[in-house]
Structure 1
Amino acid sequence: YDGRLLSFDDKTGLVYELDLETKKAIPWIYLGAGNGKSTKGQKSEWATKREGLLYVGSSGNELIKDGVAFNKDMLWVKVITPEGLVTPQNWEDKYDALRKQVDVHFPAALVHESCTWSDVHKRWFFMPLRKLEGPFDPNTYPHLSTNILLSADENFQDIKNVTVGDVHGDHGFCSFKFIPGTDDTVVVALKSEDQVVDGKPQYSTHIMVFLIDGTVIQDELRISDLKFEGIEFI
């Protein structure tokens, strides 16, 4: 973004500039949770550039107890200028519109780790990591991945969805980008696995390539036994 390669700490809320020459992560700005007026950092999960501004969002779901949402911090998005000025935006209505498109209603939710704005199509594209049927359950959560590609116009009034390949419950979309030179019609995506099997952590990363109409060019291909959560063309 603006000549910087950025990385986001989902624990502290810090945004780092990665210096490829010195191989150092240099703190740039801080993103507070929710409306930004918080000492707790935003759980940043995705970032994309639109009209010269950087949009950084979280997972887009509420925290729920006894059927009531007690925390909506992850429904906020931060809009950042090249100078580092941060403006919080409440995206509750936008995330809710995405849910309704695929017949998901509170307390069920979509959990997002990836979003990309297309200057070509003038649309937001999302690939949900998980589709929750209700409040968060650590036992079922790793197995609720999706095969959904959502797109919305600038105002989230016109929303479309297609399916991409088969659902592999343990492998969730964590990052995707349009391949340069394809007029934003060809997507490369990463899917990650993060679960506990027989008491031991199990990780993997898979890559796939497809068209925005859902046509699969390269189905899931395992590329690592580590968990990678970002892909970028530099």
Structure 2
Amino acid sequence: MFLKFCIIAFAVCLSISLSEGAPRSGTTINFAIIADLDKKSISKKNDNNYKSIVKLGELYKVADKYSFSMKDEHHEVFTKYAYKGRGAELSEFLVYKWKLYTFDDKSGIVFKLKNNADLVPWVILANGDGDQVDGFKAEWATTKGDKMYVGSTGISWSDSTGKLNSNSLWIKEIDQDGKVLSLNWKQYYDKMKSVMKIPNGFIWHEAVNWSKLKNQWVLLPRKCSELPFDTNTEETIGCNKIIIASENFQIVRSIRIKGKSIDPAAGFSSFKFLPESDDQILIALKTIEKNGKTATYLTVIDITGRVLMPDKIINEDKFEGIVLLKNTEGFLKRKE
């Protein structure tokens, strides 16, 4: 009897020890981010080369808690293509037709990452209606159906002569063969301002995705204000809103993100839906450009505005594109 009691007691203690001491199971999601280095993109070794930086990270989920880590190393990607001495200022990261693409907001070039390591020009996006001499300021990109959609900031502004520039109100529809169709989104951008009750203000867009599962657009603005756009003050403005819209923007909702941002000037530059979240949970980059300094933060939120991981610093450079990866083995390793 005593021996039986000891065996039972040992089994109970072992069970308690294992349940308390073993790490809880969780989920790991690989991601990569790509930088817009602005004028720092000019290579110090070769003035005719322009570079961006790609960094890898891992997002961890245990129960309902999120955390992340970044790999120490970084990878440089190069191009010789530029516009007016500026190039490789890359503003988004997107998988389309099983290939990885990124977008230069100076030249309007859509680059394919050959072997996930070299920038290869695929399509050049002309500004505005597609009949302009300069490149499209590409700031966001998503897939919808079998097409790629690329958009800009969604604001109009007046130049030094007072002439109105509305090129950023257009978006680009691109098919798998690289055929480009320019679409005017002015009515959609105006509808969002109306819903947010800032008809005379502005909303600056850099993070837009189409949800196939929900059949809706999800937009995380970088900046929003009830005042007209002003280059003298826009650096101090962020936005804490989520916009959800039906396919043709007939129904548009604005949702306030709960909690405070790490900096009022921080705004969204890119996001992706987390897998197995029913397109309800988003991993997002937030960036700051203020007084000549930049920073990038990572956050996790859901589409109701609940913050699941508050803003956490990634880097003092500006990273404006994020992509989720199933496997990072061999990623950014050039094939000989």
TM-based fold match above 0.5: yes
How many residue pairs match? The answer is 227
Higher relative contact order (CA closer than 8 Å, sequence separation 6+): 2
Question: What is the one-letter code of the residue matched to 1:119?
Answer: K
The match for 1:233 among 318, 324, 327 is 324
Three-state SS of the structure 2 residue aligned to 1:74 is helix
Moved more, 158-167 or 24-33: 158-167
Structure 1 contact 142–169 (Cα < 8 Å) conserved: no
Query: Which residue number corresponds to residue 93 of structure 1?
Result: 187
- 1:46–1:57 contact (8 Å) kept in structure 2: yes
* Structure 1 residue aligned with 2:113: 18
Report the TM-score when normalising by structure 2.
0.65
Pairing partner for 1:8 from 103, 111, 114: 103
Assess, with a 3 A threshold, how the Cα gap between structure 1 residues 64 and 181 changes in structure 2: closer, same or farther. Answer: same
Pick from 183, 188, 209 the counterpart of residue 278 of structure 2.
183
Q: Is the 8 A contact 1:75 1:91 kept in 2?
A: yes
The equivalent of 2:224 in structure 1 is: 131
Q: Which ranges in structure 1 are unaligned for 5 or more consecutive residues?
A: none
- Cα displacement (A) at 1:229: 0.4
RMSD in angstroms over aligned alpha carbons?
A: 1.6
Verify the 8 A CA contact 1:65 1:135 in the aligned structure 2: no
Provide the identity percentage: 34
Give the structure 2 partner of residue 104 of structure 1.
Answer: 198
Q: Please, which runs of 5 or more residues in structure 2 have no aligned partner?
A: 1-95, 326-336
2-side partners of 1:183 and 1:134: how far apart? 36
Map Cα deviations across residues 23-74 of structure 1 (whole Å, 9 max, x no partner).
Answer: 21000011001110111100000000001110000000001369x7711100
Q: Which amino acid aligns with 2:244?
A: S
Distance in 1 of aligned mates of 2:163 and 2:238: 22
Which structure carries more helix by proportion? Answer: 2
Q: Distance in 2 between matches of 1:115 and 1:87?
A: 18
Partner of 2:132: 38
Q: Letter of the 1:233 partner, please give it.
A: L
Which structure: larger Rg? 2
**Do the aligned partners of 1:189 and 1:208 also contact (CA within 8 Å) in 2?**
yes
Aligned partner of 2:283: which letter?
V
Contact kept in structure 1, 2:159 and 2:165, CA below 8 Å: no
Runs of 4+ in 1 over 6 A off after TM superposition: none
**Alpha-carbon distance in structure 2 between the residues aligned to 1:138 and 1:124:** 28
Aligned counterpart in structure 1 of residue 297 of structure 2, from 201, 206, 213: 206
**2:289 corresponds to which of 194, 206, 213:** 194
| SS of structure 1 residue aligned to 2:319 | coil
3-state DSSP of counterpart to 1:184? coil
Residue 219 (1) aligns with residue 313 (2): no
Moved more, 131-140 or 154-163: 131-140
8 Å contact from structure 2 (residues 142, 148) kept in 1: yes
Q: What secondary structure, in the 3-state scheme, does the structure 2 residue paired with 1:93 have?
A: helix
Deviation at 1:139, TM superposition (A): 3.1
| TM-aligned CA deviation for residue 173 of structure 1 | 0.7
**Which letter does structure 2 place at the counterpart of 1:155?**
N
